């Protein structure tokens, strides 16, 4: 069901799910804002985007003008390891329509009218870029809980068209729960206070325990990596950490290094009692804390990150006190990591 609402001084704007013919307008909108620089290329391909909507990999929520033209769009799509955790993002509005409050209407419709009751979506998260605060403000108004900061995530080239960033851009991660999944998470001792702070505001219950277990000798590490060439980012998911974790990281980091990666992210399974030992190994390799990722692996993830580029902390624009507190704890650990030589990681 779509929704058409007059917007005060402007004409009526219809908001509703993707329909045939929207793909061309969405692709044109991405080119208007990003040129060809947006790293997720499905949004430039009308046929692929229509297929993704039909298969439930991506859901486009579209704002249309009186003639059916695409004025704005937001998306829910799979990007995390857990298939029932969807990302809310890739939201854009045409320049001439940016005074209509359309971003908030698109997201509000998606989360409060279209999404509830859909069994395939249990939790939603957003990556709000930190070269402005618009998305952050909308997320807070819609009940998202800020839990992590991805440092230097997006390259400045992605914002060349609108000249809105001078260097790499951080992203603030926030989550909203639709189907609770209480479980036990383990806190690595160096981050006990930071993680208790992050979990205190979560909208889903967690039991917090100490992470004292060693890496298990009888279990092999499970790890996969995705490299985003344009962004020069590698994301390594570790649903299970075993005694061979260092060797697996050596191989994956070397592969990423050959592809020019500047930003390394590792997602550890916070429901494993050996997550503390895994985090300690990463700390020795120059990684620092990013925060908590609820439902990332169905259980929660612990984000650790390492940079081969400047962090540019001073460029971040953050809306809430909580976001600034998250930046402060991430920055402290990044400074700790950068103050000592990394062990065992390729340059």
Give the ranges where the chain is alpha helix by DSSP (H).
22-34, 46-55, 102-109, 134-141, 192-200, 245-258, 275-284, 321-338
Name which of 243, 242, 224 is nearest 234 in CA terms: 224
Q: Is the pLDDT of residue 347 over 60?
A: no
Residues 27-49 pLDDT 10s: 999 999 888 878 789 999 999 99
- Calculate the average pLDDT of the chain: 92
Identify the pLDDT of residue 7: 44
Select from 92, 125, 88 the least CA-distant residue to 26: 92
Nearest to 292 by CA among 303, 282, 281: 303
CATH number for the domain running over 183-338: 3.40.630
Domains 3-177 and 183-338 share a fold: yes
Domain 3-177 homologous superfamily, CATH: Gcn5-related N-acetyltransferase (GNAT) (3.40.630.30)
Residue 58, beta-bridge partner list: 77
Per-residue model confidence as pLDDT tens digits over 253-262: 999 999 999 9
169 beta partners? 154
Where do the domains of the chain lie?
Answer: 3-177, 183-338
């Amino acid at each position: 069901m779509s929704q058409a609402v007059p917007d005060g001084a402007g004409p009526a704007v219809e908001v509703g799910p993707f329909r045939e013919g929207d793909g061309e307008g969405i692709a044109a909108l991405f080119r208007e804002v990003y040129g060809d620089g947006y790293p997720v290329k499905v949004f430039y391909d009308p046929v692929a985007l229509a297929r993704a909507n039909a298969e439930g990999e991506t859901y486009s929520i579209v704002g249309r003008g009186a003639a059916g033209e695409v004025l704005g769009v937001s998306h829910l799509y799979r990007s995390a390891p857990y298939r029932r955790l969807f990302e809310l993002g890739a939201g854009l509005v045409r320049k001439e329509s940016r005074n209509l409050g359309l971003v908030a209407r698109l997201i509000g419709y998606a989360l409060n009218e279209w999404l509830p009751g859909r069994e395939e979506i249990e939790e939603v998260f957003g990556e709000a870029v930190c070269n402005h605060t618009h998305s952050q403000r909308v997320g807070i108004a819609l009940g998202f809980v800020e839990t992590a900061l991805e440092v230097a995530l997006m390259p400045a080239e992605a914002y060349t068209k609108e000249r809105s960033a001078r260097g790499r851009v951080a992203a603030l991660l926030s989550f909203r729960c639709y189907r609770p999944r209480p479980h036990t998470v383990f806190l690595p001792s160096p981050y006990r206070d930071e993680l208790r702070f992050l979990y205190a505001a979560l909208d889903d219950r967690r039991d917090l325990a100490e992470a004292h277990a060693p890496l298990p000798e009888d279990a092999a590490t499970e790890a996969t990596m995705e490299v985003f060439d344009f962004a020069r980012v590698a994301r390594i998911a570790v649903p299970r950490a075993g005694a061979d974790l260092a060797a697996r990281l050596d191989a994956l980091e070397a592969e990423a290094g050959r592809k020019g990666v500047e930003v390394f992210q590792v997602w550890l399974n916070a429901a494993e009692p050996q997550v503390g030992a895994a985090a300690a190994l990463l700390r020795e390799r120059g990684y620092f804390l990013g925060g908590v990722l609820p439902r990332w692996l169905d259980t929660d993830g612990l984000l650790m990150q390492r940079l081969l580029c400047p962090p540019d902390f001073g460029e971040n624009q953050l809306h809430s006190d909580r976001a600034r507190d998250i930046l402060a704890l991430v920055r402290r650990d990044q400074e700790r990591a950068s103050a000592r030589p990394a062990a065992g990681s390729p340059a």
